[in-house]
Chain A
Amino acid sequence: MTAELRTTAGQSLYPRLEPLLAQVQKPIQYVGGELNAQLKPWETADVHWALMYPDAYEVGLPNQGLMILYEVLNERPDVLAERTYAVWPDLAALMREHGVGQFTVDGHRAVRDFDVLGVSFATELGYTNLLEALDLAGIPMHVVDRDESHPVVVAGGHAAFNPEPVADFVDCAVLGDGEQAVGDITDVVKAWKAQGRPGGREELLARLARVDGVYVPRFYAVTYGPDGTIAAVTRTRDDVPERVGKRTVMDLDEWPYPKTPLVPLAESVHERMSVEIFRGCTRGCRFCQAGMITRPVRERTITGIGSMVEQGLKATGYEEVGLLSLSSADHSEIGQVAKELADRYEGTNTGLSLPSTRVDAFNVTLANELSRNGRRSGLTFAPEGGSERIRRVINKTVSKEDLVRTVTTAYANGWTQVKLYFMCGLPTETDEDVLEIAELAVEVIRAGREASGRKDIRCTVSIGGFVPKPHTPFQWAAQASAETIDHRLRVLRQAINADRRIGRSIGLRYHDGKPGVIEGLLSRGDRRVGRVIERVWREGGKFDGWSEHFSFGRWTQAAAEELAAFGVDLDWYTTRERTEHEILPWDHLDSGLDKEWLWDDWQDAISEEEVADCRWTPCYDCGVCPTMGTEIQIGPTGRSLLPLTVV
């Protein structure tokens, strides 16, 4: 980047940024000052954290993970934590022209001045935005080119369970829950600084590598065999762990974050506050990385939920509360939570909602209860697979009859819009499995019209291509090609439109197969893929999660040219099925899941055998609890929500 005018550490760049803001789209996203934002004097802190969500502000601001860490860190008097987001190309060009570096929105301080840059990767498509931010910040892109004056770049979030594709760019990755890990990292950085930075950056990273849950890629060497697969991953220092295990926060009631959620002035993707009602999921859906890597289930108690909702509403003024988790209807006291919250907020125009739920008649009752005080418009179910057969493969079993009955019940209860989430390109899938989605949708509309006596009900089928993820039973699976996905979506669309009288009540929302292929490359990639990411960024690639910025051609060409030297290619990473004993790039990163169990579950998937949830059936030895020293924490607690005192 152009020579940045160096300033005193921690000084605000705002006076130089302000004239640029008058020239860009939606400038409000760059000014900070959100309700509940925090701004501390630079000098009061020993350790300065810049927390980044590598996507646009409107997507990044509502991110719960980042909001939690922002509060947890700022509660420490010796820490200052500020936020930074991906800058749109219009402002990025002006920043380069005027020598203004990547900045935080809280204090408009240069990211370059911070001790730690924490980046939360919910999706791999944010990787190019990390490179863009590093470049704008004036931080050397490659780990090897950084010295002790540069921030430590730490990756977190679900994608950090395979950080190998970004191993050249991130100094460390934190596996699992971040609440306690960020404190431990802070302690290490603080001590190293106080001691006068002994041993430079190498020593700091070596100390970090000994923190539970922290993986420092540079201390692990990867070698490859003649067939392109990994031959070995070996430690280069004997004082770092052979395998790095994930962090798990136990007792969610002790971590009631965010206590004061940020409320943006700018429009964001979630205009509501969220309360995480439990973490982890053991339903065992085989495609679901989140469910696999966040085990075991840890519930927040009904009283813990009640006080977070109340405090959060007071602190934000939001009119809607989302009860968040991977499968919210599975909370052991969800019925009571829903009823008592609806009672409490009766007559206040406060809406309560659940994210998409499993297809279950009980969930309609729940949704009815939650919508008592607000709107009853749309209800979302996630059957994920089109046919009963494929639903057995992915272990998300629901019969066609139950599915139709549940959706019909929703229409009969006054819900006019039902959205159904599906995936295509699942292992063993054929065109017939996908075509069953059309049959299902038609039947749902027919039965729904009859049950509700209305013609204006709608069903939206939302469908995307499946991407196999690390640490799941499908980590060995061949990903369907973009052509296969696009073909199946095409035949599905034709089938839905075959009968116009029904078809006009069915909406189809889908994404073409191309971005999924690149997500697949980045998800199951190894260190060699880093070259592809860098090449794509150098050729202008960023905001890859946005269809108007994503260029499939740029990715395929970069992959072809950068991977050829290694004798592998895009297909090798995506559509190739892995064998049982192949060393996977993330095998030295421990989610607690036993690799043999994962393999057996993969074999069970192929033979369409289901596995039950360990919350209400015996343990099936996935390995997580004994490996991580954790246990399932669920109710019922038998407690109830006290009425609030009248103000």
Chain B
Amino acid sequence: MARQPEGPPPPPTVQKLRIRYAKRGRLRFASHRDLARALERALRRAQVPMAFSAGFSPHPKISYLGAAPTGSASEAEYLEIGLARRCDPEAVRAALDAALPVDIAVLEAVEAAEGTGSLADRIDTSVWRLELPGLGLAELQSAVASFLARDVVTVAKRTKNGLKDIDARPAVASASAAEEAGCAILHMVVRQGTPAVRPDDVLAALAAVADLRPPSPPRAVRVAQGRLDDTGTVADPLGPDRMASTRCQGEPATV
């Protein structure tokens, strides 16, 4: 028979919060694992009453949704936490934000509304903004145009099992070039899927179709995530929960 830890089982989850956070500045170099550790420690420092899994090594109930790659900044990372005691989402947001390094900002927290479906089902697309210092706008515009004109753009992607060829074109729903403060900017909307197409893969595709070679490494920011609709709009994944909470206010409690 499997051994059981002594004592009562941990208290159940009574409330789920969905949280949007940003990684900025130097912390864009943090990997998903780095961020997860930082978040879990911050939850403890902020004394958020986390629900824990049962067993000999109880883990706080946190689930992360697809993380931005190491080296990319993001304004739209999402996670869901289970609490053992009901709390005011805004109080949790503020406490968690205060407990994290400045370059990780907790932007929104909403209570997960019953019957509105999972958060993962509301995210299938990323909106990216890439700064390409040292590159001319015209050069970028023409590369983007050649890329969009193709049906297939094969690039080699580094995977655990070595280099693998993938088609970077179908995942890119839209792309455009702009300029801000003298720096060329690439805006794009990219569907999440398998194989994952990341900003680096699109840049490799631009190099393949137009020999576009940025003189210094680009800075990528994930601006938003959500579900892409037929009009090309990416919907706020916390929208349904926010709608539900304005109809039915949860009991506020302090953290």
Which residues of A pack against B, CB within 8 Å?
Answer: 14, 19, 21-23, 26-28, 30-35, 263, 265-267, 271, 314-319, 349, 375-377, 414, 647
B70 is an interface residue with CB less than 8 A from chain A: yes
CA distance A318 to B103 in the complex (A): 20
Partner of A19, one of B34, B43, B216: B216
A-B contacts at CB below 8 angstroms, number? 71
Task: Given A21-B29, A267-B33, A349-B52, verify A33-B45 contact (CB < 8 Å).
Answer: no
With an 8 A cutoff between CB atoms, is B112 at the interface? no
Q: How many residues of chain B are within 8 Å of chain A by beta carbon? A: 30
Task: Give A265 to B44 CA distance when docked, in angstroms.
Answer: 15
Task: Say whether chain A's binding surface is mostly helix, strand, loop, or mixed.
Answer: loop
Q: Which residues of B contact A377 (CB under 8 A)?
A: 56-57
Cβ of B3 within 8 Å of any chain A Cβ, yes or no, is: yes
A84 and B47 CA atoms in complex are apart in Å by 32
Is B71 on the interface with A (CB-CB < 8 A)?
A: yes
B221 to chain A, nearest CB (A): 14
Q: B128: shortest Cβ distance to chain A, in Å? A: 15
Q: What are 24 sample pairs from A and B whose C-beta atoms fall under 8 A apart?
A: A19-B216, A21-B71, A22-B217, A23-B217, A26-B31, A27-B71, A28-B27, A28-B30, A31-B29, A33-B102, A265-B27, A265-B34, A265-B35, A265-B37, A266-B34, A315-B45, A316-B41, A317-B41, A317-B42, A318-B41, A319-B41, A349-B58, A376-B56, A377-B57
Contact A28/B56 with A33-B101, A263-B41, A265-B101 known, Cβ cut-off 8 Å: no
Cβ–Cβ < 8 Å partners of A414 in chain B: 3
Q: Verify if B26 is at the interface (C-beta below 8 Å from A).
A: yes
Find chain A residues with CB under 8 A from B224 CB.
Answer: none
Q: Which of chain B's residues 63-101 have a Cβ closer than 8 Å to chain A?
A: 70-71, 99, 101
Are A27 and B57 in touch, CB under 8 angstroms? no
Say yes or no for B119: interface residue by CB 8 A criterion: no
Asked if A647 meets B34 with Cβ closer than 8 Å, knowing A19-B216, A31-B27, A33-B101, the reply is no
Residues in chain B near residue A30, CB distance under 8 A: 29
Give A443 Cβ to nearest chain B Cβ, in Å: 25
Q: Is the CB of B41 within 8 A of A28?
A: no
**A375, B56: Cβ atoms closer than 8 Å:** yes
Give the CA-CA distance A266 to B3 in the complex, in Å.
34
Interface pair B34/A316, CB less than 8 Å apart: no
B178 at the interface (CB under 8 A from A): no
- Which chain B residues border A319 with CB–CB below 8 Å? 41, 44
Determine the distance from Cα of A33 to Cα of B38 in the docked complex, in whole angstroms.
12
In the complex, what distance in Å separates the CA atom of A255 from the CA atom of B99? 26
Bound-state Cα–Cα, A27 to B31, Å: 9
Bound complex: CA of A21 vs CA of B38, how far in Å? 20
Q: Are B57 and A375 within 8 A (Cβ)?
A: yes
Contacts of B31 in A (CB 8 A): 26, 28
- Chain B residues in 8 Å Cβ range of A267: 33-34, 37
Interface core residue of A28, A35, A271 (most chain B CB under 10 Å): A28
* B42: A residues at CB distance < 8 A: 317
The closest CB in chain A to the CB of B31 belongs to A28
Given A33-B27, A33-B103, A265-B35, 11 extra CB contacts under 8 A: A27-B70, A28-B29, A28-B30, A28-B34, A35-B38, A35-B101, A265-B27, A317-B40, A318-B41, A349-B52, A377-B56
Q: How far is the CA of A33 from the CA of B40 in the complex (A)?
A: 17
Residue in chain B with minimal CB distance to A20: B217
CA distance A377 to B99 in the complex (A): 31
A106 to chain B, nearest CB (A): 12
How far is it, in angstroms, between the C-alpha of A319 and the C-alpha of B42 when the chains are bound?
A: 11
A26 and B34 CA atoms in complex are apart in Å by 10
Cβ of A647: which chain B residues have Cβ within 8 Å of it?
A: 47
How far apart are the CA atoms of A647 and B49 in the complex, in Å? 12
Closest to A27 in B: B29
- Chain B, Cβ-Cβ closest to A316: B41
B40 CB to nearest A CB, Å: 8
Shortest Cβ distance from residue B186 to the other chain A in the assembled complex, whole angstroms? 16
The 4 closest A-B pairs by CB, nearest first: A317-B41, A22-B217, A317-B45, A27-B29
- Among residues of B, the one whose C-beta sits closest to the C-beta of A376 is B56
Q: How far is B29's CA from A647's CA once the two chains are assembled, in angstroms? A: 35
List of B residues within 8 angstroms of A314 by Cβ: 45
